[in-house]
C-alpha cells in the first residue's frame, strides 16, 4: 500500500511539474508578455536599489539649479540626467524613490486584496446557500460604487499615509477576486477528488486548503497582475489629489501634481513620472494577458 501511495504521489508530482513546464514554455513564446515581464522587472529592480542608484537626495533642494532641462537638451547638465523641478530637486532621483513608494504600495494592496478576496470567494463558493447569498450581496454593495469614489472617501476620512493608502486600496480591490473565485469554487466542488475527500471524512479546512485553493490560484494570479496595474493608477491618482503618501516622500502621482503648473516651461517634470506610470501599467497588462493565455489549456497552444 505504501509503495502504491508513493508511486501515485510521484506521478502527481511529475504531472504538476509537466503542467508548469508547459505554462512557462507557452508564456515565453508570447513576445508581448516577455517584454512586459522584462520591463516590469527592470523598473522593480531600479526602484528597489534606488538608494544605491539615485545620484542625489530626492528631497534636497538646490534653488540655483531649478528648471534645468534633461542632459540631452540645450542647457542641460550631466549632473541631472532627467533635469530638475521647480525647487531644483533631481527628477531622476525622485523618480526612483517615487517608484519604491508607488510600486510597493500597489504591490502590498494587491496581495492583501487577493488574500481577502480569495478567502471570501472560496467560502462563498464551497458552502453556497445563504452564506453565498450574504457574501455576494455584500460584494454587490461594494461593486455598486466606483472604486475611485470609495478610495477618495476613505482617504479623506483616515488621512494620508503609506499604511492607510495600502489598506484603502486593498479594501477597494477584493470584490473582483471574491466574485471570480466563488464562481470557480462552485465548479471545483463538484469534481471527483473533492467528493472523494468528503467521503473519507476529511476536515472542511483541509479540503479548502489542499483541494480547493490550489485549483483557484490560476485565475487569482491573472487577476493579481491586472489589479496591480489598477492600483498603480489608483495610488497615482490619490497622490495627485493630495490623499496619498504625504510629502516630502516623492511618489509618481505627487510628481505629476507638482508638475501641472509648469507644463509649458518645464514639460520634462511631467514626462518622467507619466512615462513611468505608463510603462508599469502596460507591462503588467502584457504579463496578465500572457498568464491568462498560458494558464488556459484551451489557448496555451496558440502562439502570438
**Rounded to whole angstroms, how far apart are CA atoms 235 and 244?**
7
Q: Across residues 8-21, what is the average pLDDT?
A: 52
Q: How many residues does the chain have?
A: 304
Q: Where are the domains of the chain?
A: 17-295
**Rounded to whole angstroms, how far apart are CA atoms 127 and 198?**
13
pLDDT at 9: 43
pTM of the predicted protein model: 0.85
Q: What is the pLDDT of residues 227-249, one digit of tens each?
A: 999 999 999 988 888 888 888 88
**Rounded to whole angstroms, how far apart are CA atoms 128 and 281?**
36
Q: Are 14 and 262 in contact (CB under 8 A)?
A: no
Helix 268-295 vs helix 213-240: crossing angle, to nearest 10 = 170
- Mean of per-residue pLDDT scores for the chain: 85
Predicted confidence (pLDDT) at residue 283 exceeds the cutoff of 90: yes
Q: What is the pLDDT of residues 122-156, one digit of tens each?
A: 999 999 889 989 999 989 888 888 888 888 888 88
**Rounded to whole angstroms, how far apart are CA atoms 140 and 122?**
17
Q: How confident is the model at residue 114 (pLDDT cuts 50, 70, 90)?
A: very high
Q: How confident is the model at residue 304 (pLDDT cuts 50, 70, 90)?
A: very low
What single DSSP character describes residue 245?
S
Beta-carbon contacts of residue 71 (< 8 Å; ≥ 6 apart): 77, 78, 80, 81, 82, 83
pLDDT at 301: 53
Judge if the upstream peptide bond of residue 28 is cis by omega within 30 degrees of 0.
no
Supply the CATH classification number for the domain 17-295.
1.10.3720.10
pLDDT at 154: 84
Amino acid at each position: 500500500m505504501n509503495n502504491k501511495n508513493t508511486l501515485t504521489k510521484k506521478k502527481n508530482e511529475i504531472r504538476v511539474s509537466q503542467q508548469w513546464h508547459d505554462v512557462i514554455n507557452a508564456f515565453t513564446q508570447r513576445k508581448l508578455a516577455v517584454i512586459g515581464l522584462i520591463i516590469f522587472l527592470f523598473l522593480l529592480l531600479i526602484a528597489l536599489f534606488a538608494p544605491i542608484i539615485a545620484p542625489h537626495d530626492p528631497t534636497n533642494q538646490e534653488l540655483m539649479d531649478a528648471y534645468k532641462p534633461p542632459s540631452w537638451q540645450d542647457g542641460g547638465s550631466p549632473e541631472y540626467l532627467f533635469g530638475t523641478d521647480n525647487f531644483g530637486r533631481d527628477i531622476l532621483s525622485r523618480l526612483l524613490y517615487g517608484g519604491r513608494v508607488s510600486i510597493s504600495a500597489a504591490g502590498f494592496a494587491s496581495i492583501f486584496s487577493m488574500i481577502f478576496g480569495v478567502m471570501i470567494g472560496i467560502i462563498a463558493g464551497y458552502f453556497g446557500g445563504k452564506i453565498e447569498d450574504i457574501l455576494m450581496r455584500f460584494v454587490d454593495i461594494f461593486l455598486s460604487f466606483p472604486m475611485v469614489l470609495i478610495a477618495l472617501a476613505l482617504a479623506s476620512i483616515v488621512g494620508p499615509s503609506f499604511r492607510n493608502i495600502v489598506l484603502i486600496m486593498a479594501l477597494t480591490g477584493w470584490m473582483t477576486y471574491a466574485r471570480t473565485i466563488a464562481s470557480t469554487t462552485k465548479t471545483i466542488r463538484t469534481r471527483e477528488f473533492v467528493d472523494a475527500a468528503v467521503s473519507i471524512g476529511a476536515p472542511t479546512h483541509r479540503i479548502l486548503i489542499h483541494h480547493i485553493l490550489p485549483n483557484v490560484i490560476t485565475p487569482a494570479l491573472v487577476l493579481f497582475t491586472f489589479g496591480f496595474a489598477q492600483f498603480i493608477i489608483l495610488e497615482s491618482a490619490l497622490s495627485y489629489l493630495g490623499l496619498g503618501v504625504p510629502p516630502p516622500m516623492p511618489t509618481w502621482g505627487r510628481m505629476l501634481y507638482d508638475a501641472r503648473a509648469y507644463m509649458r516651461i518645464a514639460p520634462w517634470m511631467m514626462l518622467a513620472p507619466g512615462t513611468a506610470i505608463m510603462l508599469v501599467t502596460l507591462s503588467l497588462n502584457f504579463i496578465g494577458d500572457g498568464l491568462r493565455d498560458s494558464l488556459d489549456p484551451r489557448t496555451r497552444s496558440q502562439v502570438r
